Amino acid sequence: MDNTSILLLLGFVGSLIAIMTPIIKLNASITKLNVTLDNTNKVVGKIDDKINDHEIRIVKLEEHI
């Protein structure tokens, strides 16, 4: 291998690293956001259940008045 081939190979590897690093970081960020959204959806679901329970109680109380 002559010098130009080595430089071409090193340039290719360097470019590949420069492109792949932000993609990997972006993938990690997207994964964290998905986990956060899943946890938020679970909390909202629990709050919705509590609100429905309270609405049912209010309706039953109003029926007795």
Which of 42, 22, 40 lies closest to 32 in space, CA to CA? 40
The reported pTM is 0.62
Q: What is the pLDDT of residue 61?
A: 81
| 16-55 pLDDT per residue, tens | 999 999 999 999 999 999 999 999 999 998 888 888 888 8
Between CA 22 and CA 40 the distance in angstroms is: 27
The mean per-residue pLDDT over the stretch 4-11 comes to 95
Domain ranges of the chain: 24-65
Helix, strand and coil content of the chain, in percent to the nearest 5, comes to 95, 0, 5
DSSP class per residue in 3-48: HHHHHHHHHHHHHHHHHHHHHHHHHHHHHHHHHHHHHHHHHHHHHH
